[in-house]
Amino acid sequence: MAAAKNYPVSTAQVRPFRIYDEGTEKILKGKCFGYVLNAHNAAQVYAKWWLDVGASVTVLDTKGNDLGQYTRRLNAVQTSPNTPQTLAEVERQQKRGEK
């Protein structure tokens, strides 16, 4: 299956994006992604359904760069200021990380 046009494709590794749980201080087992948008979506779902109120998860790449953080609040999931909201922001973030 081919990737959609203009969809960010990872070239370094097969699954370079990870989800890190701040509470347990571990990378979540089985939560490795080939596309950064998939990692962000999974982090949001994980924060909404499985985290306790006040707990956080972070999307990381294999270099250890923080690509965004999601914190569970009482009625919503709060994002950090550096979390991308659009595909264009994700692409700019990836270009900054490659340099």
What are the backbone dihedrals phi and psi of residue 21, each rounded to the nearest 5 degrees, phi first? -90, 120
Please determine, for residue 79, whether its predicted confidence score (pLDDT) is greater than 50: yes
Which pTM was predicted? Answer: 0.74
End-to-end CA distance of the chain: 29
CA 48 to chain centre: 14
Average pLDDT over residues 20-29: 90
Which pLDDT does position 3 carry in this prediction?
Answer: 47
